[in-house]
């Protein structure tokens, strides 16, 4: 939970610092939300989340190629970080079942 919170704060804090905040006494036409956050900031947040999810798909496909659960490794990469997940997948390698299939020792193929 701390990792998710730090991820969200790591994305949101710089975006809010760069946000075009409308003055409080403006006529209201400049402010989109109560805090005066512009549409551009909201779009940056959405684009950032989409890019993060797209990068997290790399470990997903790596895990599936190695005979491991893609969904599990997608969740791990989302919370732990995609770079750490890729390193872990490279270290642990293929699953035992995939190694047996590759060697032709799979019992279900007989």
Domain hosting 105: range is 2-109
Mean pLDDT of 103-109: 70
User: What DSSP character marks residue 32?
Assistant: S
Tokens of 2: 């701390």
pLDDT at position 78 is 83
pLDDT greater than 60 at residue 17:
no
User: What DSSP character marks residue 107?
Assistant: G
pLDDT greater than 90 at residue 87:
yes
CB proximity list for 47: less than 8 A, separation 6 or greater: none
pLDDT at position 10 is 67
Q: Which of these, 14, 87, 83, lies nearest to 52 by C-alpha position? A: 83
pLDDT greater than 80 at residue 62:
yes
For the chain, the domain total comes to 1
Rounded to whole angstroms, the Cα distance separating 77 from 59 reads 7
CB proximity list for 31: less than 8 A, separation 6 or greater: 22
Rounded to whole angstroms, the Cα distance separating 79 from 59 reads 12
Answer yes or no: are the C-beta atoms of 38 and 20 closer than 8 Å: yes
Rounded to whole angstroms, the Cα distance separating 57 from 78 reads 9
């Amino acid at each position: 939970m701390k990792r998710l919170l730090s991820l969200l704060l790591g994305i949101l804090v710089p975006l809010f610092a760069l946000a075009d905040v409308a003055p409080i006494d403006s006529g209201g036409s400049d402010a989109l939300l109560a805090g005066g956050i512009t549409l551009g900031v909201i779009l940056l947040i959405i684009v950032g989340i989409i890019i993060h999810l797209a990068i997290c798909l790399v470990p997903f496909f790596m895990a599936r190629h190695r005979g491991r659960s893609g969904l599990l490794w997608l969740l791990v990469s989302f919370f732990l970080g995609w770079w750490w997940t890729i390193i872990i997948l490279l270290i642990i390698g293929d699953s035992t079942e995939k190694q047996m299939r590759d060697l032709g020792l799979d019992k279900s193929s007989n």
